[in-house]
Structure 1
Amino acid sequence: MLNLIKLPHVLTINQVPKVFHEDGIISGYRPPYSSAKDCALSVFQPTNETLNIWTHFLPAWFFLWKLLMVALAMEEGERSLYSWPLLVYLASCCVYPLASSCAHTFSSMSVRARHVCFFFDYGAISLYSLGSAVVYSSYTFPQKWVNSTFHHWYVSIAVLNSFVCTALACCSRLGLPFLHYSADTIKGLPDYQVAKLTKPLRILAFALPYVYDNIPLFYRLFVCVGEGCTDNEANGVHHQHIALAFLTGFLFATRLPERLAPGSFDYIGNSHQLFHVFAITATVVQIKAIELDMVLRQTWLLAHSPPITFTNTVGVTLVSVAANLCVICIFSHALFSTTKNRDKDNKLSDIIKGYDSCSTRSAFCCHR
């Protein structure tokens, strides 16, 4: 069937604008300024984005199945509130891989589309970090810290982190909207500043909420001794999740293995694909650890923990969603096309379509 559909030829790094370049990836690029239809069809075509799409698209459906199973198994009455944090967390687990797969699918439509797609991707990751905070607050806090001042402010600070970190991640792409870029020019930060700031800002944006969310867990596993430390079967699974999370971060930060052998991992085995796989595996292990805490500690938590309400579960999540959408809208607004930009895009699109007909780099150069 796919042989009957004309799929665009993949390009090399020399045939696409710099904004589409990925470190260590030499070939397998989809044509920039592709149509939405071409982007959707490309998920069935070997490119350097194909596995990035599928390694998050399929797990999103698994997490949706888990969400539905928990929702259908909820008890009636007051005890049903006990499952709300898990539902919020599982919903965030559905959103972040789905947003990521969509971002990777449609990021080759245009320069602006690429930035906006990943703005939403960053917002979804921040929402997942909040979901983790909500569920940790309800089931995972060490017994010594339950009802402490930190416990009462923990989720509120996580909400603040969620949109601050989305703003940092968005800023890592082009800088500040209207200051470093506007609707009439997408220059972004100067190249030397981008090289220095992009990676640190993005790592900080992802690492900060993770470290904050896990403060009670780190204390429970590595610092707390004696009575009230919540030593149960879930601790071993939490250790596994932390190890996988650090490995995920290591892959994201180092760009290994393609950094050592550029061009050898363009289609299979590059760091971003491994980053996706280990992130999903870490989330699956995290779910298992949370469910163990939820079951093993239910009686004690219902008696001693702050009551679970709509406000501290669904309510804070809706606030975070609204705040993150505002951040994304601010950063995206500066990218909205004007007549000048549409003319530039149309001209560049025509040029790139000409590139697609070139079979060699020399043919590509004759168009420049």
Structure 2
Amino acid sequence: MINLREGEIPEVDKRKPYALVAITKHGVANARSYTEKFPYADLYYMKKFARGDEEARQIQLFDGTVRLLLPALFQQYKGVICVISLGAVVRMIAPIMVDKMTDPAVLVVDDLGQYVISVLSGHIGGANALTYEFAKAIGATPVVTTASDVQKTIPVDLFGAQFGWMWDSEEKLLPVSASVVNEEHVAIVQETGEKDWWMHDRSMPENLKIYSSTAEVIQAKPHATLLITDRLIDSDEEVLLENGVIYRPKSIVLGIGCNRGTALEEIEQVIDETLAELRLSKKSVKAVATIDLKKDEEGLLALTAKHNWPFITYTPEQLNEMPLRNPSETVFKYTGSYGVSEPAALRYANTEELVLEKKKSGNVTVSIARVNFEERGQ
């Protein structure tokens, strides 16, 4: 809880590059959903709108006027996205603005989430690029009033943000961005994830080149690399990170089954061990899927709340529609479905292939499928 007082700049727990702030009932409801679509923002809202899951979801509550919170957000974050009226935001930021070289990007989103407006630090602070990316992520209309504004290339720090992609490390964001802007040779390798990330109605700049494998990129020796993958890279590929960024698309579906009352800690340990064995990134988990008999399972609810993962449940009839290599009469006897973790993962991923067939460890059974982006039209 952040207690705001006149004359004091509060301490905030910065975890991500952007801050998202809401102060109304509808604004808070929308902002909570925005964090699922745009994973680069820490969410702040007033304590009177608390729902009880804020600690688990790493949401920060504040008590007092938002005007007293903004100076801290200005100092700590690369950008501040306000679900607050434009006039109010302009009045509140006017006393704390310094200059266009140091001020963060400031965006305003209306209460219904229809428009995203670039307010401050459009070019240098990246507000215009952030406006386009955030608007696409939440399905809103971007409003940029800078007459000379044109998007010429890939915004490295926001690449894939509209799909929920996350970069592994921010260490090389600036030098890779410099390579992109300076029209140096930049290699792009995509192993999974949405394919329609180029947002413009013209061809990519010639300095951005798409390669089919990391081996090709290593041989080509580009100035910088953008690698889109859900796997952990091998030691011989680490040369790409000398000036490269790895992006983690939301491509992995965890099908989970567990005994009633299984603790969060046991479920998460099995997931972590399994992903490590398969050399898959936890940042690429898109959702947890299971049977509807588990819709109130406390361990699964705690897990998905902690990581802000969608929690998807299916009826036995829906699960039985999926092709299974290992149908179980025992599972059918107790659940009405011939499987839980495998068909749940397959159904949500919209595929018939498993990355991992069911693995049982203690009280937990886990299966993994990779999202079929081609079938989803992505």
**Structure 1-normalised TM-score?**
0.21
Greater fraction strand: 2
Higher relative contact order (CA 8 A, sep 6+): 1
